[in-house]
Amino acid sequence: MPAEASLPVWDRGIRLFHWLLLLAVTAAAVTGFVLGSTYLRWHLISGCAIAVLLLWRVVWGTLGDQYARFAGFAYPPRVVLAYLRAMRGGPRLRYLGHNPLGALMVFALLLVLTAIVLSGTTALGGMLKQGPLRAFLTYAVGRQVLRIHQLLAWLLLGMIAAHLGGVAFESWRERENLVRAMVTGRKPAAPPAVAVASVRAEPRLAARLTLSVGLSGAAVVAALAALPGRGVPPDTLDPLFAEQCGSCHLAFPPSLAPAATWNAILDRMEAHFGRDTGLPPTMIAQLRTYLVANSAEHWDTLPSWQLRTPDPAGSLRISATPGWRRIHRGIPASVFAVSPILSRSSCEACHADAATGLFAPQAIAIPQP
């Protein structure tokens, strides 16, 4: 098609936003739905990219040209209804920019994506005690919001499918390739389209504003993320506990078991999982005071909640609890025979942060045979 027969519609800022958002959402969906929690680091990077792109779109929606500005496609209900009637056989109006239905989808996608970013940040802070909200939210709040986050993610996939269907339908109905238009930025000049008043874009101001707000926001996020997590146990263990228990195996943080389990373990120190520890009663009493005061009931981390229910069969091993079995149900038994694991209690072999009791998904690396 000759250059004079087409018009510039989608500027570079809109096109970059569109395709980069597609990549970021795809990465977030794959790491969230397919690859699982061990890819949380990449899921978070995707989420941060989406947040930055949303910030840019808001700024460009205010300072971009006539087809990028929200004011240019914030159609009143009567226009949307008229467009729907036209789709059923009435007189059709052509829009070079977003048509009324496409505009509704744009606003809906931006709102849902914003809600996904916010709900993901909330779930991260409450459940995993990570991110800018870790100092303020409980595990229970994070868990509830995680369900909302997941529902919104499914809603987003449905909206994307509807968006793709709408693009295909409009491309067929208008006899123009809308995907190519989002690549080249140009649309056919004919037939005539609804006139849109030209508006001068302010790319330099938009870039400065995005950078300024983005850097300020990143500084605030970093400062909040540095605050102590709500309900997170101390990083250091009691010296006596660390010495006596850590000399034989990982000194399991007290937050990984309830007080009843610790009391039962300390009541049998002469037959501690097959061996006599030889600890005097005064030392056992000292350990009991520390472990009971710092047991799972006193903390609000994901491991402390998932592991605080003892094994119904009476085993005192953490690896026998219902929570541990549920978490590890997808791992073949043969993996636990691989060096350096060799035991279901060798948490540190797969979890780099096992000593902290947090067990962040990003810190998981399962040794391969």
Residues in CB range of 369: below 8 A, 6 or more apart: 334, 335, 338
- Contact assessment for residue 295 and residue 254, using Cβ atoms and an 8 Å cutoff: yes
R_g of the chain, CA atoms, integer Å: 28
Neighbours of 5 (CB within 10 A): 10
**pLDDT at residue number 1:** 41
In tens digits, the chain (369 residues) has pLDDT values of 444 588 889 999 999 999 999 999 999 999 999 998 889 999 999 999 999 999 999 999 999 999 999 999 999 999 999 888 887 776 678 888 999 999 999 999 999 999 999 999 999 999 999 999 999 999 999 999 999 999 999 999 999 999 999 999 888 887 888 999 999 999 888 777 777 778 999 999 999 999 999 999 999 999 999 999 999 999 899 999 999 888 888 889 999 999 999 999 999 988 888 888 888 999 999 999 999 999 999 999 999 999 999 999 999 999 999 999 999 998 888 888 888 888 888 899 999 999 999 999 999 988 876
- Is it true that domain 3-225 has CATH number 1.20.950.20? yes
- Contact assessment for residue 177 and residue 171, using Cβ atoms and an 8 Å cutoff: yes
For 110, 239, 299, the CA distances from 306, given in Å and listed in that order, are: 35, 26, 11
Q: Where are the domains of the chain?
A: 3-225, 239-363
Neighbours of 9 (CB within 10 A): 23
Neighbours of 314 (CB within 10 A): 8
pTM: 0.90
